[in-house]
Amino acid sequence: MNRLDSSKRAQVIGCLIEGCSIRSTARVTGVAKKTVMRLLVEIGDVCADYQDRAFRNLRCKRLQLDETWAWIYCKQKNRTERIAREHPDAGDIWLWVCIDADTKLVPTWMLGARDTLTAWAFVEDIARRVKGRIQITTDAYKVYLKVIEEVFGYSIDYATLQKVFGASDEPEKRYSPAKCIGCEMKTVIGDPDPKHVSTSFVERQNWSLRTSVRRMTRLSNGFSRKASNHSAAIALNYFAYNFIKIHRTLRTSPAMAAGATDRLWEVSDLVALWESYEQEAERAA
């Protein structure tokens, strides 16, 4: 099978990291659209596996959790029986995200429904990656209350923060958000520090995600047709965020700040990692 050389692969991955769509990446690089999509899935698997191995025994102190909505092929309300038969992945999908408030590292994320089963798997994955006592902040989504208590017990400090919205003084506009008039904090487990009960960092990260991943852009024609493509794009985005991009406040990458790596990665390093996975697979075959 013919393969692109390392420099062309780096060019394709670089475009995807910068938020280009599949079609625009194909136009810029001269690589066929189907090839770009195949490369995305392959590099996404590598990114997900490497981060799963690297993010272990993390010394996180304060974690913030949130969920972000997206859809595959069509929104849930537009899913018909015919679409369900032809595209089983079609419908709403939620991205569960966890961020370390100090190092800004995203140690884990999960795609699935916004239900107890996915929440359970998500919180259990967090528990496997962190070491020591931590403080967790979430919104007031009730599923968190039961799941976090049963997974962590009383070995953590946990609080919820619920925003209170009111009517805006300005004339009503389409898509305009309601005005936030305050926040209600509630201690659930332990003794969380009120100064660090916040979801601001994870909400800001969600905003960065929507601006850097084309298929997550709201009120646009960007969307995923397959769950595998969506998952790969998310994994690549978080690899770039954790290892390649310099965080403006930290002046380094989140992975370096968290001690998960000792250097700032480049796209060429990711391609080299990808090729090492391919060589390992060839030797195993």
Q: What is the 3-state secondary structure (H, E, C) of 231-256?
A: HHHHHHHHHHHHHHCCECCCCECHHH
- Residue 67 resides in a domain: yes
3 state SS for the chain: CCCCCHHHHHHHHHHHHCCCCHHHHHHHHCCCHHHHHHHHHHHHHHHHHHHHHHCCCECCCEEEEEEEEEEECCCHHHCCHHHHHHCCCCEEEEEEEEEECCCCCCCEEEEECCCHHHHHHHHHHHHHHECCCCEEEECCCHHHHHHHHHHHCCCCEEEEEEEEEECCCCCCCCCCCCEEEEEEEEEEECCCCHHHCCCHHHHHHHHHHHHHCHHHCCCCCCCECCHHHHHHHHHHHHHHHHHHCCECCCCECHHHHCCCCCCCCCHHHHHHHHHHHHHHHHHHC
- Tokens 């300005």 — which residue? 170
- Residue 51 resides in a domain: yes
- Residue 220 resides in a domain: yes
Domains held by the chain: number: 1
Of 119, 120, 188, residue with least CA distance to 154: 188
Dihedral over alpha carbons 116, 121, 122, 125 (to 10 degrees): 160
Domain that holds residue 245: 6-284
- Residue 53 resides in a domain: yes
CATH number at residue 207: 3.30.420.10
Which tokens sit at 283? 């030797």
- Residue 146 resides in a domain: yes
pTM: 0.91
Which tokens sit at 77? 């309300």
* Cβ–Cβ under 8 Å, residues 33 and 23: yes
- Residue 208 resides in a domain: yes
Q: CA 42, CA 36: separation in Å to the nearest integer?
A: 10
pLDDT of residue 26: 96
Cα distance from N-terminal residue to C-terminal residue, the chain = 15
Dihedral over alpha carbons 124, 125, 128, 129 (to 10 degrees): -140
Of 281, 211, 217, 198, residue with least CA distance to 241: 211
Segments of the chain scoring below 50 in pLDDT: 1
Phi, psi of 71, deg, nearest 5: -150, 155
- Residue 91 resides in a domain: yes
Residues in CB range of 161: below 8 A, 6 or more apart: 137, 138, 139, 140, 183, 184, 185, 186, 197, 198, 199
- Residue 1 resides in a domain: no
